[in-house]
Structure 1
Amino acid sequence: MDRTPILNSHSSEPGRVGYDAYFSQHPGPPVTTSVTTVPEPKLTATPLSADQPDLPTTSAASAPAHETTVMAESDMRNVGGTSASVPVPERAGRSSDLVPLPENLPAALSSPELLVGVTAYRPARLRSTRGVRGALNKVGFRFGLSPAEQRTEERRNRIRHQLTATFQVAVISVKGGAGRTTATAVLGSTFANLRADRVVAIDANPDFGDLASRTGRHPYGLTLRDLARASGVEAFSAVQAFTSTNTADLATVASPWTTESNEAMSGAEFDNAAAILRRHYNLLFVDCGTGVLHPATQAVLAASNAVVVVTPASVRGVAGAASTLSWLGSHGLERLVGRSTIIVVHQHPAKPIVDVDAVEHLFASIRRPTTVVPFDQHLAEGGLIDMRLLDPATRLAFEELAASIADGFPSYVVGGARGADDAGAWA
C-alpha cells in the first residue's frame, strides 16, 4: 500500500504536508496510553495572630554573605521597574549576640617568659672544625665544639662587647725598644678584625714614630698634623683620606715626624686631630712616646680611658713598668691605674732571664692583669704585620688582652647618665 504523503494544497501554510488528511484515509492500529496521576500535597497555612511578635530583620548591609536572602513576591514583581524596592534579608540572630574579640592580648600571652620552654626538638649547634673532632665531622660525624673552641667563642664574644661611647687606649712604655709600637699595631688589629665598628691607631710619638712601618704607610704621606690643620673634614670619607688601612681593617694615622722635621708634634695638634677622629671611630689606640712629661703624651693620657704598659721580659723593663704606674698615680691619673694592663713581651726565642711567674705575681698583688706575649718570628722581623702569619700562641695572648680591655668598656647606668670615668675626661 502506497503511504506517500499527500500535499495539502488548501493548507494555510504553503508546502505543509497534509498529515491530517493522510491519516484520516489510512488509519493505523490503535495506541493505548496510560497516565499515572500523582496527588498534589495539601499545604496548610497557619495565620499569624496579632499577639505574635514580628521576626527580627536587619539591613542588607549587615547580613552575612553566606545567609539566604528572602524576597517577598511583590518585591520580586517590582524589580526592574521604576518603583523597585530594596529586598530586606532575614537572619536568625542579631549583631549584639556576637561576642566581641579582645583588642589586646592578655599579659600572660605577651610575656617573654611564655616562650622560654618553646624550643626546637633538635636545635642547630656549632660543629667543631679543628682537631680530631673537626676531622671526624668532615666524614659525616656531628661533634660539637671542643672545650678549647668554646673558650675561643666566649673570649671573642667578650671582645665584641657593646661599646656605648668612644673609648681611647694609651699604649706607653718608659723604655725604648720594649715592643710598644708592635703591641699597638697587633692589639688594634685584633679589635678591628673581630669587631664590626671602626678602629683607628694613632702614632703620637713626638720623637721617632714608626707605627706606619708596621701597619702600612699612607700613599701620599699624610700625617696627624695634616689632619689637625685640615678644614672641611666633617664627613667620614674626608677623614678616612688621612688614614691608611691594613689587612685587618685597622685605620692608622701616621706621626708627623720625619728626618726633615724641625717641629715636634704638640699637645694641641693631637687634641685637634683626636677630636675629629672621635666623631667617626669608636676605638682609638694611641702609641705614645717614651717621655711621659712631653706635652703630646700628657694630652694623650688626659683623654684616655685605659692604659696598656708594655715591658720586656727583663728586670729593668719590669721596674720601669712599675715606675710608670707609680707616676700615673702621683700625677692625678689614678683612674688610669685602675684600668691598666701590663704586657710582658718576649723579644728573644730563648728562655727569658727573669721569672715571668714572679712578674705576674708582682702585678697581681696590686690587682692588675698581666699578659705574657711569647716570641713570634713574624713580629721579630720588624716589617708589616699580617695577623694571618702570627703564631697561634701570640694570637691567643693578644685576644686575651683585648678581652680584658673590653671588659672595662663603658656602659649606661640604668635610669640615668654615665659615670665620669666611663665617658673619659674629654666627654
Structure 2
Amino acid sequence: MDPSDESLEGRDIVVTESGSINVVVDLPPAPVAAPPADEAAVAIDDVVVDPSRPVHTQTASVTIVTAHPVVEAPLPPVRTVLPKQVEVEVSSGWRQPSRRSRRSGEVAEVPESSAMLTADRLLVPGRFGRPAPEGGARLLLYKATFGLANLGDSPKVRARKELDKRIQRPLDGGARFVPVLTRKGGVGKTTVSALLGMALADQRDDRIVAIDANPDRGTLSERVARQTDATVRDVVQRAASITGYTDFSTLVSRDVTRLDVLASDTDPQLSEAFNENDYNVVADLASRYYSIVLTDCGTGIVHSVMRPTLRRADSIVIVSGGSVDEARLASETLTWLEANGYGELVRNAVIALNTATQGTSLVNVEEIEAHFLSRVRQVVRIPYDPRLAAGAAIEYHKLRPATMHAARVLAALVVEGLPATK
C-alpha cells in the first residue's frame, strides 16, 4: 500500500508488530431517524440523575393512545317497562289488555285463542266506511246515491242484530247442559225444547243437540224431520264403537237449522229401563261433540234420570202454562229444586210461559210473570202459533215473527246464563 495515495488522506495508518496495517477512519455520526408518532406519544423524557442527591420517586399517569379504536362489548338490551294500562277483565278468569294497551306493546298474560281475532278488533275503524243498511228505503237511498247517503240500519234491524250477537256469545271449554223441565204434562215442554234448540242452532256456529230423556215415551223427535230410527238405547249399546262425531251423527236426526235430536225409546217398557247410568253414558258422549246439550225431561221429577240431569245442569228452563194449576205446579217445581240443594239453578232459571194453553185468556198473565220474576232470572212468553199447535214437525223459518222472536229471546237469555268458560 502506498502511503502517498490520495485516497488515504485524513486517515491514520497504524503498522502493528506483526506487520499488519490498520487504517483508522473518522466517520461522521449516523443520522438518527425520528421515532414514529405513536412511539413519540408514549416516550418518557430523559432525566439527569445526580448521584450525590437523594432520589425522590414520583408516579405519574400516562395516557396511551393506540392507533386502533377500542371495540367495547355490547351492552345487554334494556327492557323498557311500560306504564300499566287499564285492563279489561273477561269472564274466562284471566286478564286481557285493552286495545290501547295492545297498541303500546302490552300483551295478554296467556296465549289468546282464535276467537279473539274478531273483526271489531282487527279492522281499522272508519277504514271501510259505514256498512250499507239492510233492506227497505234506507238501502234504496244508499244505492241511489252510490253510498254517499247512508242512514244505517233501522232500529228494528239493529235490535235484531243485537239479539243475534247475544245468542252467538262464545262459550269456551266443555259442553253446557240445559235441562227443560216441569212437573205437569201438556204445557208445551217438548215444543219449547225444540224451539230453544232451533233458535240456538240457527244462529250459533257450534253444535247443538237436544236429547229426549222422557221415560214416558217422549215426542221430541217428532218435532223435527226424522232421519233415523235410532234412539238413546242405541247410543248406550254402541257407546264403545262411537269414536267420533261421524259415528254419533248417524244416531240423530238433523233439522234444517242444524239442530241434532236424539230420540227416546218408543217402547214404554224400554223407556223405564233408561236409568241414571244410561243417561250418563249418553251425556258423556254428547259432551265430546256438542257445545250445548238440551235435555227434554219427563214430568217425573224424582225419576232416577233427573238426578244426573240436574247435577250436570249449568242452567235450567222451567215451562209453565198460563192457567192457575199450571203456574202453581211450575212454582212448586222451583220449590222442590230449592229444597234439594239447587237454589242457585233456580235463581239463574228462565221461565218459558206458554200462553197457548187452555185457560190463559181467563188468567192475569202479568201476575204470573210477577210471581216468577221474584224467584227466577227472567220470564219469556211463548205466543200461540198454529204451526206449533198442530203437533207436527216444526218448520222454524215459517213460524210467525212473534213466535220466532220469543224463541230467540229465550235462546239469548239461556246463553247469557251459561258460564263463559268451563
SS of the residue corresponding to residue 343 of structure 1 reads strand
2:102 paired residue number: 112
Q: Which of 133, 157, 165 does residue 149 from structure 1 map onto?
A: 157
Cα offset, 1:300, TM superposition: 1.6
State the alpha-carbon separation in 1 of the partners of residues 82 and 369 from structure 2.
Answer: 54
2:325 paired residue number: 316
1:280 paired residue number: 289
Q: Which of 349, 368, 382 does residue 377 from structure 2 map onto?
A: 368
Cα offset, 1:104, TM superposition: 8.8
Cα offset, 1:152, TM superposition: 2.0
* Closer/same/farther in 2, CA of residues 229 and 132 from structure 1, 3 Å limit: same
Moved more, 284-293 or 137-146: 137-146
Cα offset, 1:143, TM superposition: 2.3
Cα offset, 1:327, TM superposition: 0.8
1:217 paired residue number: 226
AA partner of residue 248 (structure 2): V
Q: Which of 303, 307, 313 does residue 298 from structure 1 map onto?
A: 307
* Closer/same/farther in 2, CA of residues 95 and 343 from structure 1, 3 Å limit: farther
* Closer/same/farther in 2, CA of residues 308 and 381 from structure 1, 3 Å limit: same
* Closer/same/farther in 2, CA of residues 155 and 226 from structure 1, 3 Å limit: same
* Closer/same/farther in 2, CA of residues 148 and 94 from structure 1, 3 Å limit: farther
State the alpha-carbon separation in 2 of the partners of residues 263 and 150 from structure 1.
Answer: 48
Structure 2 length-normalised TM: 0.68
1:257 paired residue number: 266
AA partner of residue 396 (structure 1): H
Q: Which of 197, 211, 219 does residue 206 from structure 2 map onto?
A: 197
- Structure 1: where are the runs of 5+ without partners? 1-48, 54-92, 413-422
State the alpha-carbon separation in 2 of the partners of residues 121 and 210 from structure 1.
Answer: 51
* Closer/same/farther in 2, CA of residues 262 and 236 from structure 1, 3 Å limit: closer
Q: Which of 204, 209, 217 does residue 208 from structure 1 map onto?
A: 217
SS of the residue corresponding to residue 351 of structure 2 reads strand
Q: Which of 148, 160, 163 does residue 168 from structure 2 map onto?
A: 160
Identical residues among aligned pairs (%): 30
Cα offset, 1:290, TM superposition: 0.9
SS of the residue corresponding to residue 279 of structure 1 reads helix
AA partner of residue 126 (structure 1): P
State the alpha-carbon separation in 2 of the partners of residues 358 and 303 from structure 1.
Answer: 32
State the alpha-carbon separation in 1 of the partners of residues 207 and 69 from structure 2.
Answer: 65
The correspondence of residues 40-189 of structure 1 with structure 2, limited to 5 A, is 112-114=102-104, 119-120=124-125, 123-140=128-145, 141-164=149-172, 165-189=174-198
1:408 paired residue number: 417
Cα offset, 1:259, TM superposition: 6.5
State the alpha-carbon separation in 2 of the partners of residues 293 and 334 from structure 1.
Answer: 17
Cα displacement string for residues 38-90 of structure 1 (whole angstroms, at most 9, x for unaligned residues): xxxxxxxxxxx98679xxxxxxxxxxxxxxxxxxxxxxxxxxxxxxxxxxxxx
AA partner of residue 230 (structure 2): L
* Closer/same/farther in 2, CA of residues 50 and 273 from structure 1, 3 Å limit: same
Number of aligned residues:
327
The correspondence of residues 319-330 of structure 1 with structure 2, limited to 5 A, is 319-330=328-339
1:383 aligns with 2:388: no
Q: Which of 224, 227, 235 does residue 235 from structure 2 map onto?
A: 227
AA partner of residue 301 (structure 1): L
* Closer/same/farther in 2, CA of residues 350 and 177 from structure 1, 3 Å limit: closer
AA partner of residue 295 (structure 1): S
State the alpha-carbon separation in 2 of the partners of residues 96 and 275 from structure 1.
Answer: 67
Cα displacement string for residues 338-388 of structure 1 (whole angstroms, at most 9, x for unaligned residues): 221101112269972212222221112224310011111221222111221
AA partner of residue 133 (structure 1): R
SS of the residue corresponding to residue 347 of structure 1 reads coil
Aligned-pair Cα RMSD in Å? 3.4
Cα offset, 1:392, TM superposition: 1.5
* Closer/same/farther in 2, CA of residues 156 and 255 from structure 1, 3 Å limit: same
Cα offset, 1:127, TM superposition: 2.8
State the alpha-carbon separation in 2 of the partners of residues 262 and 397 from structure 1.
Answer: 32
State the alpha-carbon separation in 2 of the partners of residues 389 and 218 from structure 1.
Answer: 20
Cα offset, 1:208, TM superposition: 2.0
State the alpha-carbon separation in 2 of the partners of residues 387 and 365 from structure 1.
Answer: 32
State the alpha-carbon separation in 2 of the partners of residues 224 and 365 from structure 1.
Answer: 37
Cα displacement string for residues 226-262 of structure 1 (whole angstroms, at most 9, x for unaligned residues): 1012122121111111111010001111001336858
Asked whether the 8 Å contact 1:203–1:209 carries over to 2, the reply is yes
Cα offset, 1:180, TM superposition: 0.6
Asked whether the 8 Å contact 1:217–1:254 carries over to 2, the reply is no
Asked whether the 8 Å contact 2:354–2:382 carries over to 1, the reply is yes
* Closer/same/farther in 2, CA of residues 260 and 137 from structure 1, 3 Å limit: farther
Asked whether the 8 Å contact 2:315–2:418 carries over to 1, the reply is no
Moved more, 326-335 or 261-270: 261-270
1:267 paired residue number: 276
Structure 1 length-normalised TM: 0.68
State the alpha-carbon separation in 2 of the partners of residues 270 and 341 from structure 1.
Answer: 24
AA partner of residue 161 (structure 1): R
SS of the residue corresponding to residue 201 of structure 1 reads strand
